[in-house]
Amino acid sequence: MKGRTNFVSFSGIDGAGKSTQIDALCARLRESGLTVRVVRFWDDIAQLKNIRETTGHKVFKGDKGIGSPEKPIERRDKNVKSFPMTCVRLFIYFVDALSTRRVFKRLQNSGEDLIIFDRYTFDEFANLTLSNAVIRAYVRMIMSFVPRPQISYFLDADPEKARARKPEYPLDFLYANRKAYLTLCELVGGITHIPAGSIPEVQQAVFAAAQQKLTFRSPLGDGGQVNAAHEGETQTA
């Protein structure tokens, strides 16, 4: 198992700090001489982007771009919960799941020490009504063929603080979205829940999980040797 490609994913509500933590983990591992590649879900995996853009911008009149404290926007896409949109999402998410499987399998032979997914299938599930029995069965079906990273991080966050950093969606949606992530942790199991905290606190929790669950060809920095007890196991985080 020495030298294998490891996989982790980062999920969470908008403004939870995923990009900040991904950049920090990349820098820390590269300092240890390891190779890291970041896969952006929306850029490298998501399919049918024309349908998504048409629905969000032309049909529901949502704003384009990324919101910032200086320039807040109002998006209208994943926060639209109508029955027709749910049906469209179930189809699109199935196509994305097949794409995720293809990308994951291809990257297994990439030679990289670590592949980081900036968002994963879990982030799409969090847009669904997980209290519905049919939706829960759909989630289990998708996860029966989508590969699982060694670590699937869920970065928790206070919705009000998250929206202040990235004002794109209504606050009530962010609260509902966070609740969906917590439900998802129970539904699919094995997700590493990182509680909300300061940037250094979250960085330490993220790195501690990496030290415990990942196996690299060389030790991690700060004297952190990956636990050899995890070599050879099938990790379903």
Q: Determine the length of the chain.
A: 237
Asked whether residue 13 is assigned to any structural domain, the reply reads: yes
Question: In this structure, is residue 75 part of a structural domain?
Answer: no
Q: Which of 212, 208, 206, 205 is nearest to 233 (CA)?
A: 212
What pLDDT is recorded for position 93? 97
- Using CA atoms, how far apart are residues 140 and 99, in angstroms rounded to an integer? 17
- Per-residue model confidence as pLDDT tens digits over 174-193: 999 999 999 999 999 999 99
The chain-wide mean pLDDT, for the chain, equals: 88
Q: Which residue would you say has higher pLDDT here, 141 or 236?
A: 141
Q: How many domains are there within the chain?
A: 1
For residue 132, tell me if it sits in a domain: yes
pLDDT digits (tens, 9 = 90+) for 61-109: 788 878 888 898 888 889 888 898 999 999 999 999 999 999 999 999 8
Residue 105, domain CATH:
3.40.50.300
Q: What is the reported pLDDT for 235?
A: 30
The confidence score (pLDDT) of residue 228 equals: 30
CA distance 39 to 47: 14
8-60 pLDDT tens trace? 999 999 999 999 999 999 999 999 889 999 999 999 999 998 878 777 667 77
Give the end-to-end CA distance of the chain in Å, rounded to a whole number: 17
In a domain, 1, yes or no: no
pLDDT at 224: 39
What average pLDDT does range 127-155 have in this prediction?
97
Could you tell me if residue 235 is inside a domain?
Answer: no
Q: What is the DSSP string of 68-106?
A: BTTB-----STT---HHHHHHHHHHHHHHHHHHHHHHHH
Confidence band, pLDDT 50/70/90 cuts, at residue 230: very low
* Highest mean pLDDT: which range of 42-51, 140-149, 213-222: 140-149
Domain of residue 193: give its range: 6-47+81-230
pLDDT tops 80 at residue 232? no
Q: Is residue 69 part of a domain?
A: no
Within a domain: residue 59? no
Does residue 128 sit within a domain? yes
Give 151's strand partners: 8
How many other CB atoms are found less than 10 A from the CB of residue 79? 20
pLDDT for the residue numbered 155? 98
Tell me, yes or no, if the pTM score tops 0.85: yes
On the question of pLDDT at 202 being above 80, the answer is yes
